[in-house]
Amino acid sequence: MRPTLSRFRGRLLAGAVLPALLMVVLVGMVFLSHYQSDMEKSFLERGKAIARQLGAAAEYALFSDSRETLAMLAEGARQGDAAIVAVSVLDRHGRTLVHSGAPLPLHHALPLLPTLQVANGGEFVTIQMPIQQAILPIASEETDWHGAAQTLQPEVTGYLVVEISRAELADRMREMLRITLAIMLCGLLLAGWLSLRIASGVLASLDAASQELHRQKEAAEALARTDALTGLANRRAFDEAARLEVQRALRYGTQLALVLADLDHFKSINDGFGHHSGDEVLRHCARVLSATVRHVDVVGRWGGEEFVILMPDTGLVEAVQAAERFRQAIAGTPVPLGERSCQCTASFGVAALQRGTADLEALLNRADAALYRAKERGRDRVEAG
C-alpha cells in the first residue's frame, strides 16, 4: 500500500505543478511574442516617419538642385539620430546626388517606384522614400465633362534612402527578454509554491486518511484475532500461532508443550450467579492465566469455559509443573462479584510434542484426553497425556 501511495503522491504533485508551470511558460511566451511583434512594427513605423519627414524637407532642395542643402539635411539627420546609419538622396534615375554615412549596399536593389519601399537586411533596415514635387490643382476654363478642375499627378523628382540600424531594437528586445524571463521565473516559483501548498494539503488529508485506514485495518485484524470477552487470542489466532510453533520445534528439534484448562462446574456458576457473573469469572480466569504464564507462552480461549496455553521450549515435566501453578492461582483467587465472591477451580490436561505424532491435532487430542481424565478423577487437578 505504501509504494502505491508514494506513486500516487508523486503523480498528484506532478499533476498539480506541471499545469501551472506550463501555463506560466505559455503566457510568458505569448506575451514576449506579442511584445516583440509590437516593437518590430513600432520600429518600422518610426523609420517610415523619419523617411517621410526627410523626404518632405528635401523636396525643395532637390527641385532647386541645391546639393549643399541636401548634404546638410542628410548629415543633420544622421547626426541627430544615432540609429540612422546612412542617408542618401538619389535623382529620379537612381543616381546618387548626396550621401552621408556608411555605404548603402541595399538601396540599389530597391525598385524605383512612386511608393515607399522597405528592405530588411538583418542588422539594418533600408527605407526608400520617393520625393515628389507638390502640384496644386489649377482651375482653368477648360474643365472635364464633370465640371471639376483638372488634377495633375505629382512628379517623382528623386528618392531619399535611409538606412536604420536595428541594434537599438535588438537591445530593447534582449532587455525585454530578460525582464520576461525574470517575471516567468517568479511566476514559475509562485505557481510551483502554490501548487505544492495545494498538493501538500491534499496529501496531508490523504496521509491522514491512509493512517486512519491502516489503524482501522489493524484494529479490525486484532479484533478478528482476539476473543471479545476475555481479550485473549481467539481460536483462529491461537491455531495459527500454534502451527508456527510446531513447525519451528520440528525444524530446530526443540520441545513444545500444550495445556488445556476447563473451569469446573461452570454451569453451576451461571445458574447460581447469572450469566453476567459467569462472564466475569471467565475474564478473571483469563487475567490470572495471562499474569501467570511466561511472556513467550501463548494463551487463548479455546471455546466456552476452556482455555489453552502453548509453551515453547518446554518439556512435559516442566509443563505439568506450570499447569499446577496455573491451577493453584485460579483456585487461590476468589472472583469478586459485587457484594459476593465466587470460588472457582479448573482442571488441566497437559501434553508434549512427540516426534512420532508431531502435529498440532495429535498434541491437542492428547491434551484433551488428559483433561478428560482430570475431570473423571475429581476435577481441580492436573493430568499429563
Reported as a single tens digit per residue, the pLDDT across 256-303 is 999 999 999 999 998 888 889 999 999 999 999 999 999 999 999 999
Confidence label for 107 from pLDDT (cuts 50, 70 and 90): very low
Confidence label for 145 from pLDDT (cuts 50, 70 and 90): very low
Rounded to an integer, the average pLDDT of 180-208 is 76
For residues 186-207, one letter each, b for 16 or more C-beta atoms within 10 angstroms of the residue's C-beta and e for the rest, the string is ebbeebbeebeeebeeebeeee
Q: What percent of the chain has pLDDT over 70?
A: 87
Query: Can you give the pTM of this predicted structure?
Result: 0.51
Sheet containing strand 96-101, strands side by side: 96-101, 84-91, 155-165, 124-133, 117-120
Please name which of 164, 153, 157, 136 lies closest in space to residue 58, comparing C-alpha atoms: 157
As a whole number of Å, the CA-based R_g of the chain is 53
Residue 85 identity: V
- Alpha carbon 146 to its chain centroid, in Å, reads 80
Q: What digits encode the pLDDT tens for the residues 197-219?
A: 776 777 677 778 778 888 888 77
- Give residue limits of the domains in the chain: 1-134+153-223, 235-384
Cα 262 to Cα 345: distance, rounded to the nearest angstrom: 9
Q: Which fold has domain 235-384?
A: Alpha-Beta Plaits (3.30.70)
Q: What percent of the chain has pLDDT over 90?
A: 39
SS3 label, residue 309: strand
126 touches 50 (CB < 8 A) = no
Q: What is the DSSP string of 351-363?
A: EE--STT-SHHHH
Cα 121 to Cα 367: distance, rounded to the nearest angstrom: 106
Phi, psi of 136 (to 5 degrees): -85, 145
Model confidence at 139: pLDDT above 90: no
For residues 111-131, one letter each, b for 16 or more C-beta atoms within 10 angstroms of the residue's C-beta and e for the rest, the string is eeeeeebeeeeeebbbbbbbb
Phi, psi of 265 (to 5 degrees): 50, 40
Superfamily, domain 1-134+153-223: PAS domain (3.30.450.20)
232 touches 223 (CB < 8 A) = no
Q: Which residue has the higher pLDDT, 17 or 281?
A: 281
Rounded to an integer, the average pLDDT of 171-185 is 82
Confidence label for 106 from pLDDT (cuts 50, 70 and 90): very low
Model confidence at 172: pLDDT above 90: no
Cα dihedral 245, 247, 250, 253 sign? negative
Report in angstroms the alpha-carbon separations of 150 from 88, 154, 303: 34, 13, 126
Residue 165 identity: S
Model confidence at 33: pLDDT above 50: yes
62 touches 157 (CB < 8 A) = yes
Inter-helix orientation angle 275-292/316-331, to 10°: 140
Please name which of 146, 151, 109 lies closest in space to residue 128, comparing C-alpha atoms: 109
DSSP 239: H
Tell me what pLDDT residue 217 has: 81
Model confidence at 31: pLDDT above 60: yes
Active-site residues, by number, are 305
Model confidence at 4: pLDDT above 70: no
Highest mean pLDDT among 162-176, 200-214, 326-340: 326-340
Tell me what pLDDT residue 241 has: 94
Strands (E), the chain: 84-91, 96-101, 117-120, 124-133, 155-165, 256-263, 298-303, 306-312, 335-337, 340-342, 346-352, 382-384
